[in-house]
DNA sequence: CATCTATGTTGACACACATCGAACCAACGC
DNA sequence: GCGTTGGTTCGATGTGTGTCAACATAGATG
């Protein structure tokens, strides 16, 4: 059976025409991943062991460090990442349920 | 004149850090869906019977008709939609493989 | 405790791109 | 011809991106 509590936002795109409000929320999530730098940062965090990574480990994406910080902030505002300071370093980790929800938007109900 | 590849673009975001080229291609697809109007248009086409819809059936999204045309063009350029003229009307339909590919990016290997 | 250094974040600004609509154009059916 | 459907061009406005500088926090060092 499917887990019904991991549906944060909207029905699959193939189910029906989204309402304006649904489209707004869904577009905001896609927008967070619509930048190459953010995608690289996100995949770096998502693929890191333990699902979390220090900023110092992932900031080699071709832009300056403040720019990295700006992009990480956008990913955090979109609810895709969470940050935590431990001592000198700041660690980011993914929010798995949001990722699953977005996947369901595209592929329809889970086919587990 | 350019025809977008339908081959699998990139590994899942959780597998490893994307390369710059992979991130560019992936970001372009997400960007196409990062606009509320485009999402509504896309979901309208994707949910239409037969997977295709006439522009006249889906152009009620709150913006002018030229704007609808603009957004449909972007979705087409991103490889998410294909268009075909049949007599008076132009029909749009989805590219299912691209949708599945994007879902795989988010959720990992397919669970079919 | 005071100070210095390393790590990240925030603010301000320039630059580029995206978005939108008015007007115009092309294809089709009558 | 004429009306309808949909696409294109163009310009104005808005939004995003990136860098520099300044600031905040944690740890080390004397």
Mean pLDDT computed over B90-107 = 87
**Cα A109 from Cα A62, distance rounded (Å):** 37
Q: Which of A24, A25, A20 is nearest to A9 (CA)?
A: A25
What CATH number should be reported for the domain whose range is B20-107? 1.10.10.10
- Closest-approach residue (CA) in chain B for A52: B14
Facing B36 at nearest CB: one of A24, A36, A42: A24
In terms of Cα–Cα distance, which of B43, B14, B11, B39 is closest to B26?
A: B11
CATH architecture type of domain A17-107: Orthogonal Bundle (1.10)
Task: Give the per-residue pLDDT at B3.
Answer: 43
Give B28-67 pLDDT, tens digit per residue: 999 999 999 999 999 999 999 888 999 999 988 889 999 9
Q: Which nucleotide is nearest to B72 (CA to C1')?
A: D7
Nearest nucleotide, C1' to the C-alpha of B64? Answer: C21
What is the tens place of the pLDDT at every residue in B57-98?
998 888 999 999 999 999 999 999 999 998 899 999 998 888
- Of A13, A62, A104, which is closest to B43 when you measure between CB atoms? A13
Any strand C atom closer than 7 Å to A73 CB? yes
Bases in strand C with any atom closer than 7 Å to a protein CB: 6-11, 18-24, 27-29
The secondary structure of chain B in percent helix, strand, coil, rounded to multiples of 5, reads 50, 15, 35
> How far is it, in rounded angstroms, from Cα A75 to Cα A44?
13
Give the residue extent of every domain in chain B.
Answer: 20-107
Q: Is A106 on the interface with B (CB under 8 A)?
A: yes
Given a cut of 70, whether residue B4 has pLDDT beyond it is no
C-beta atoms of B20 and A40 within 8 A: yes
Q: What is the pLDDT of residues B15-31, one digit of tens each?
A: 889 999 999 999 999 99
Q: How far apart are CA B21 and CA B5, in angstroms?
A: 14
- pLDDT at A1 > cutoff 70: no
Beta-carbon count within 10 A of A9 CB: 17
Tell me the chain B residues in contact with residue A71 when contact means C-beta distances shorter than 8 Å.
none
Using a CB-CB cut-off of 8 Å, the residues of chain A touching B24 are 36
Instruction: Inform me whether the C-beta atom of residue B37 falls under 8 Å from chain A C-beta atoms.
Output: yes
Q: Quick check: A65 contacting B, CB < 8 Å?
A: no
Residue B54: what are its φ and ψ, rounded to 5°?
A: -80, 150
CB B13 to CB A46 under 8 A?
A: yes
| Interface residue B47 vs chain A (CB under 8 A) | yes
């Amino acid at each position: 059976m499917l887990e019904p509590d991991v549906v944060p936002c909207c029905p699959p795109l193939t189910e029906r025409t989204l309402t304006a409000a649904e489209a707004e929320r869904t577009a905001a999530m896609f927008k967070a991943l619509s930048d190459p730098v953010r995608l690289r940062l996100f995949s770096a965090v998502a693929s890191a062991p333990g699902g979390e990574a220090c900023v110092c480990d992932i900031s080699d994406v071709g832009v300056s460090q403040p720019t990295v910080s700006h992009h990480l902030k956008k990913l955090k505002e979109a609810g895709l990442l969470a940050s935590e300071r431990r001592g000198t370093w700041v660690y980011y980790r993914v929010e798995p349920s949001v990722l699953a929800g977005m996947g369901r938007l595209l592929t329809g109900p889970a086919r587990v």
